Structure 1
Amino acid sequence: MDGDTVAVGTVREDSAARGVGGNPFDNTEFSSGAVYVFHRSELDGWQAQAYVKAINAERNDSFGQSLALSGNLLAVGADLDSSAANQIDGDADDNSLTSAGSAQLYHRTGATWSPASCIKPSKPGFADRFGFSVAMDGGLLAVSAYGEDSDATGINGDMDNNLALFSGAAYTFDVVASRRSASRTARLVKATSLHSATQHDRRTF
């Protein structure tokens, strides 16, 4: 929730709609997920403002797993999205990397929401679950990938190995409301000390 706007995610929603304002009754993509945006005005109280789907909505993507609102920007995580795209606005329909995850950015003009960017890390990985959580403050977006496996530490370390299983990572992106987009420049954030996670601590970072 941000001011008079609230967004609600439902990861089990099943429609095959894509983008904003599609058909919510085509229930052919099981658990693709959706987000509903509501806005409050003094005149009308709370009213539905947008029905939001991933630009690549497909079954079991869990779109809506995480949400962040900041002014006229909405970020949505889909941590089970299997696209192998990297960075910003790659091929979101390339489903060759199971549960790599993604985050998608939407922009509001007046009362109308539109897709802005599909966001991926520069090195997506199998079961990284990028988008498990998202946070946004002004022009900064942070996205977690709790299944990320590299043994990098600190900021912008070496992502080119999988030597610390499920150690997890976060990525930050600059988002520009006026351009309705995310920057291609991302920063990798890792803990200063790592170990391979057990079943009980995979979500700690």
Structure 2
Amino acid sequence: MIRLPACATVVMLHCLMAMAAIGAEPCATDLSLSDEATDEAMIGTSVAIDGEWAVVGAPLDTGNGWASGVAYVYRWEADAWLLDARLIADDGEIGDMFGVSVDIKGDRIIVGSWFDNDAGSNSGSAYIFDRTEGTGWEQAAKIVMPDAQAEDVFGRTVALGDEFCAIGAPLDDDQGQSSGSVVVFDRDSTGGWSFVAKLAHPGGGGGDQLGLSLTIDGDRILAGAPWSNDGRGEVHLWERFAAWTHVWMMTMESVGSPDDYFGFSVALDGDRMAVGTYRDDSFGLDAGSIWIMSKVFDGWAFEKYPPPDPQSGAMFGVSIDLSGDLLLAGAYYGQVDGLSTGTVDIMSLADTQWVPAGSLEGSGLVAGAEFGWSVALDGDRALVGAPYQSPVGDLQAWSGLLVNCNCPADVTGDGQVGVDDILAVLEAYGSTCTSCEADLDGDGQVGVDDILLVIAGWASC
């Protein structure tokens, strides 16, 4: 049984007050760019998070020569992202654009180098880096497509699974010029990477560019072919049983319009998928839209969502990511104070519908920075790239996406200070904790002072 403190009577009086709703303003997180980055490095072209680690690509940075490319690794420590490593390809050369794509899973990173010339001009490659205690991040393998040819741009997209990876080659010509493909490799017991399968899409044809977007979750691979059907676009899902099997597809052939580019961005988390259609005109010329899919017993249910704040030319859905009940979607020409700097919208799942839950607007951005070209989400932490921000590109970070940083008394993070916040403090009352939400004064103990801070916050929020 909870013993209420003496101020409980005051609390109950405040519980009778009307609660005013406020919009959440997520907490901007410290993140510093590398001093070694060169001008026009395009930091933020690609980005990925997994737990306490993140990686960002800078494909025009000078690693082994101009535009050979660099990937920067960050670790989460003391509520900030700290630069941990600078990755370059051991055999990188001028113009390889290492870092055009990145992914991270556990102690492994994969980086795409789509203009590598090992099998001909711009045939492409990908690199694996593993982290070990004491030695840090080291290159473990270089992967090339077995039947690679010039201009395949293998490595334009990359994704990591458990002991396997998938790599996109959107200009591969197996089903016609630039039909595209996705190539899967397994890691063997010796630490090497072996070719497993080359995934093509049913009915694929020239110009589809399958693999221009790509993601993995569990034993599923989701890839977009946004240029199919005159740019209407489609997405394809494979699942690994005894072998990789094509299990589902969605095409805009009959309902989309030319140059909508459904499938330009994709995200997959458990039994949910999200797909961007960044040139959709349904809500304004090139305003964009997204589709969200949920697994049902006989397939996938899907629904189209407009931009929370439709703007012509914003291109909402150019990037997308999912984590649990949260979603990020970039609009890299979204306007802020009249400037097309780019914006990112947050959506959250409420019952069965996805609803707007705020937005991210970078700081210090110039028009054309393309903030939102890349997004990454893990839990309530977000990273957003702005590769055209002068002088080297940019990467900005947030945490507590549904927490209002201007309203610290909002213990529950529901956008208002009220009864639920008092109850949350009372539930933890008397406990000793570090970094817990109910310890508002940060003294390591949940007590009377924390209740008083909730009461004080009632008026200010």
Q: Residues 198, 72 of structure 1: CA spacing in aligned structure 2 closer, same or farther, 3 A cutoff? A: closer
| TM value normalised by structure 1 | 0.73
3-state SS, counterpart of residue 145 of structure 2: coil
Find the counterpart in structure 2 of residue 98 from structure 1.
177
Query: How does 1:64-103 map onto structure 2 within 5 Å?
Result: 64-84=155-175, 97-103=176-182
Measure how far apart 1:148 and its partner are: 1.1
Task: Say whether the 8 Å CA contact 2:114–2:153 is kept in structure 1.
Answer: yes
Find the counterpart in structure 2 of residue 188 from structure 1.
249
> Is 1-10 or 194-203 further displaced after alignment?
194-203
Q: Deviations over 1:52-100 (max 9, x none)?
A: 001111100000010110111100000000112xxxxxxxxxxxx1000
C-alpha distance in 2, partners of 1:135/1:175? 14
Gaps of 5+ in 1: 17-28, 85-96, 150-164
Matched, 1:175 2:240: yes
Task: Say whether the 8 Å CA contact 1:2–1:70 is kept in structure 2.
Answer: yes
Query: How does 1:45-194 map onto structure 2 within 5 Å?
Result: 45-84=136-175, 97-110=176-189, 111-149=191-229, 165-176=230-241, 181-183=243-245, 185-191=246-252, 193-194=255-256
Task: Say whether the 8 Å CA contact 1:128–1:146 is kept in structure 2.
Answer: yes
When the two chains are superposed, the root-mean-square deviation of aligned CA atoms in Å is 2.2
More helix by share: 2
| TM value normalised by structure 2 | 0.33
Q: Which has the higher contact order (CA 8 A, sep 6+)?
A: 1
Find the counterpart in structure 2 of residue 197 from structure 1.
259
Task: Say whether the 8 Å CA contact 2:233–2:260 is kept in structure 1.
Answer: no
Asked which structure has the greater CA Rg, the reply is 2
Match of residue 117, structure 2, among 14, 17, 28: 14
Task: Say whether the 8 Å CA contact 2:227–2:259 is kept in structure 1.
Answer: no
Q: Deviations over 1:127-159 (max 9, x none)?
A: 00001011100011001000111xxxxxxxxxx
C-alpha distance in 2, partners of 1:11/1:112? 21
Find the counterpart in structure 1 of residue 58 from structure 2.
none
C-alpha distance in 1, partners of 2:259/2:179? 18
C-alpha distance in 2, partners of 1:6/1:108? 13
Measure how far apart 1:104 and its partner are: 0.1
Measure how far apart 1:198 and its partner are: 6.4
- Which portions of structure 1, spanning 4 or more consecutive aligned residues, are displaced by more than 2 angstroms? 190-193, 198-205
Gaps of 5+ in 2: 1-103, 262-277, 281-285, 291-461
Letter matched to residue 31 of structure 1: N
